[in-house]
Amino acid sequence: MTVSGGGFGPGSVVRFGSVAAHTVSTSAGAIVAAAPPGVGTVPVTVSTAAGTSAAGPSAAYTYTFANAPYSIDLSASPTSPAPGSSTTLVASASVDVGPTPYGISIFDTTAGAELVHAGTGSSLAASVSRAAAATHSYVAKICNPGGVNAQASSVTVSVTWS
């Protein structure tokens, strides 16, 4: 994972949740860290001599995983809509989840809510809008309703209404 910013140097520490990354390389405007093992979505913070960065929706890391034969991707279009406008989230699974006990879900990880769930098919779309400026992060999963018994998880997609 690459974090952009400044003030990085020897001794900088990147944490994924409470776990420090083992491999970190720094330059004047970026720091690159290898994520330690983990699950779910965790805040990412950087500690330097000047202090520790704030955790927030744009500073999160979602561990992706897939149990064969499942995998899932998530896209958003547009990723920078104006307040009051919508974005369309599209989850695409590697297989039709219909003949399985699982479905496709799209989650708003910022709000901690499942937006939509479908028990059949290989794709699922949801339209989301925000009345005011905000950044929200989304993830798609192949799972039972509510995110239970997840079989695959997408990367996090962030949308900024500004």
DSSP secondary structure string for all residues of the chain: -EEE-S---TT-EEEETTEEPS-EEE-SSEEEEPPPS--SEEEEEEEETTEEPPP-TTSEEE--EE-TT--EEEEEE-SSPPTT-EEEEEEEESS--TTSS-EEEEEETTTTEEEEEESSSSEEEEEEE-SSSEEEEEEEEEESGGGTT-SEE---EEEEE-
Band (pLDDT 50/70/90 cuts) for residue 105 is very high
- 120 and 100 within one domain: yes
Residue ranges making up the domain that contains 46 = 2-62
Token readout for 14 is: 């990147």
Query: What pLDDT does residue 148 have?
Result: 87
- 6 and 41 within one domain: yes
Dump pLDDT digits (tens) for 40-74: 788 888 988 888 888 776 678 877 778 888 999 99
Q: What percent of the chain has a predicted confidence (pLDDT) above 90?
A: 48
What is the pLDDT of the chain when averaged over all its residues? 89
What is the spatial distance between Cα 144 and Cα 162, in angstroms, rounded to a whole number? 34
- 94 and 53 within one domain: no
Dump pLDDT digits (tens) for 22-38: 767 887 778 888 888 77
- 105 and 69 within one domain: yes
What is the spatial distance between Cα 146 and Cα 128, in angstroms, rounded to a whole number? 18
What is the spatial distance between Cα 78 and Cα 70, in angstroms, rounded to a whole number? 26
Tally the domains of the chain: 2
Query: What pLDDT does residue 4 have?
Result: 77
Dump pLDDT digits (tens) for 114-157: 999 999 999 999 999 999 999 999 999 999 998 888 899 998 89
Dump pLDDT digits (tens) for 76-99: 999 999 999 999 999 999 999 988
- 70 and 119 within one domain: yes
- 101 and 145 within one domain: yes
Query: What pLDDT does residue 57 have?
Result: 64
What is the spatial distance between Cα 68 and Cα 103, in angstroms, rounded to a whole number? 15
- 123 and 109 within one domain: yes
- 124 and 56 within one domain: no
